[in-house]
Amino acid sequence: MDAPAKIAVVGTGYVGLTTGACFAHLGHQVVCVDIDIDKVQRLSVGDVPIFEAGLAELVEEGLNTGRLAFVANTGVGVRDADFVYLCVPTPPSTDREGNADSSAGLVDLRALESAAREVGLHVRAGAVVVNKSTVPVGSARLVAKAMGRSDVTVVSNPEFLREGSAVSDFLFPDRVVIGATDRGAAQRVAKLHQRSAAPTIITDPATAETSKYAANAFLATKLSFVNTIAAVCEAVGANVADVLSVLGHDKRIGSECLTPGPGWGGSCFPKDTQALVRMAADAGYDYSLLRGVLAANDEQFNRVVNKVAAVVDLARATIAMLGLAFKAGTDDTRNSPALAIAERLLAAGARVQAYDPAVTRVEGTNIALARDAYAACEGAEVLLVVTEWDEFKTLDVAQLAGVMSALNVVDARNIMDAEALLRHGFDYQCIGRG
Q: Would you count residue 124 as binding ligand UDX (CB under 6 A)?
A: no
- Contact status, residue 109 vs residue 32, Cβ threshold 8 Å: no
* Backbone angles phi and psi of 81, in degrees to 5: -75, 140
Q: Would you count residue 351 as binding ligand UDX (CB under 6 A)?
A: no
CB of 160 to ligand UDX, least distance (A): 4
DSSP string computed for 250-287: STTT-STT----S---SSSHHHHHHHHHHHHHHTT---
**Closer by beta carbon to ligand UDX, 76 or else 215:** 215
Q: Would you count residue 274 as binding ligand UDX (CB under 6 A)?
A: no
CB of 387 to ligand UDX, least distance (A): 8
Q: Which residues inside 282-341 make contact with ligand UDX, applying CB under 6 A?
A: 326-327, 337
CA 15 to chain centre: 10
Q: Which of 261, 270, 323, 357 binds ligand UDX (CB under 6 A)?
A: 261
Q: Would you count residue 269 as binding ligand UDX (CB under 6 A)?
A: yes
**Closer by beta carbon to ligand UDX, 370 or else 431:** 431
CB of 242 to ligand UDX, least distance (A): 16
How many helices (H) and strands (E) the chain has is answered by: 16, 14
Q: Would you count residue 268 as binding ligand UDX (CB under 6 A)?
A: yes
Q: Would you count residue 412 as binding ligand UDX (CB under 6 A)?
A: no
- Contact status, residue 379 vs residue 348, Cβ threshold 8 Å: no
Q: Which residues inside 198-257 make contact with ligand UDX, applying CB under 6 A?
A: 216, 219, 223, 257
Cα separation, 384 vs 116, whole angstroms: 45
CB-closest chain residue to ligand UDX: 268
- Contact status, residue 88 vs residue 115, Cβ threshold 8 Å: yes
How open is the CA angle 369-421-359, to the nearest 5 degrees? 20
Q: Would you count residue 401 as binding ligand UDX (CB under 6 A)?
A: no
**Closer by beta carbon to ligand UDX, 327 or else 433:** 327
CB of 417 to ligand UDX, least distance (A): 20
HSE-up of residue 7 (Cα within 13 Å, Cβ side): 29
Query: What is the sign, positive or negative, of the torsion defined by CA atoms of 172, 193, 26, 22?
Result: negative
Catalytic residue among 32, 233, 268, 430: 268
Q: Which helix (DSSP H) or strand (DSSP E) does residue 183 occupy? A: helix 183-192
CB of 223 to ligand UDX, least distance (A): 5
Q: Which of 9, 32, 86, 161 binds ligand UDX (CB under 6 A)?
A: 161
Q: Would you count residue 14 as binding ligand UDX (CB under 6 A)?
A: no
With CA atoms as reference, report the closest residue to 311 among 244, 259, 383: 383
Q: Which of 163, 331, 381, 411 binds ligand UDX (CB under 6 A)?
A: 163
Q: Would you count residue 160 as binding ligand UDX (CB under 6 A)?
A: yes
The number of residues that bind ligand UDX (CB under 6 A) is: 21
Q: Which helix (DSSP H) or strand (DSSP E) does residue 15 occupy? A: helix 14-25
Residue 430: active-site member: no
CB of 161 to ligand UDX, least distance (A): 5
* Backbone angles phi and psi of 7, in degrees to 5: -120, 130
Q: Would you count residue 42 as binding ligand UDX (CB under 6 A)?
A: no
With CA atoms as reference, report the closest residue to 90 among 114, 119, 122: 114
Q: Which of 19, 157, 259, 429 binds ligand UDX (CB under 6 A)?
A: 259
CB of 258 to ligand UDX, least distance (A): 6
- Contact status, residue 125 vs residue 152, Cβ threshold 8 Å: yes
Segments of 55-198 assigned E as strands: 68-71, 83-86, 128-131, 153-156, 176-179
Q: Which of 16, 62, 92, 265 binds ligand UDX (CB under 6 A)?
A: 265
Q: Would you count residue 264 as binding ligand UDX (CB under 6 A)?
A: yes
Q: Which residues are at the interface with ligand UDX (CB under 6 A)?
A: 159-163, 216, 219, 223, 257-259, 261, 264-269, 326-327, 337
What residues are annotated to the active site? 268
